[in-house]
Structure 1
């Protein structure tokens, strides 16, 4: 089923990735950096969709992930109900 429904259709146009310039996260936009966005969404890894509960970036006490799209292989291993 996961092969039939790739998660690209379920992930927002802006995600968060590791900041190569330092600790924390950097915004990755589907429009501004389609290659990086597509690679992150296609990978078998979780995708951070929100940081700091949607609050300011950078946060005064450091950025933290507050919402994500699950790793596909983890979802595939979940039992069906």
Structure 2
């Protein structure tokens, strides 16, 4: 299913997300597990399964660049904060 070097890339992406935000990193891991089960249920070809796994890891990457004070804010975001999120 995975090509040579894929595991290293996936591990790197997982570590980045866990280091930035543990709940987001763990959600990525759960999403990957769920998608792998779903992909098996769909009888996906190995290349399609590989792409699905990579997409699961990419799911939370956009949040890495969002500042902590915005990412962890409990109240509504200001216009300026929304602009930063959309960048």
Which protein has the bigger helix share?
A: 2
Name which structure has the greater RCO, CA cutoff 8 Å, separation 6+.
2
Q: Same fold (TM over 0.5)?
A: no
TM-score by length of 1: 0.28
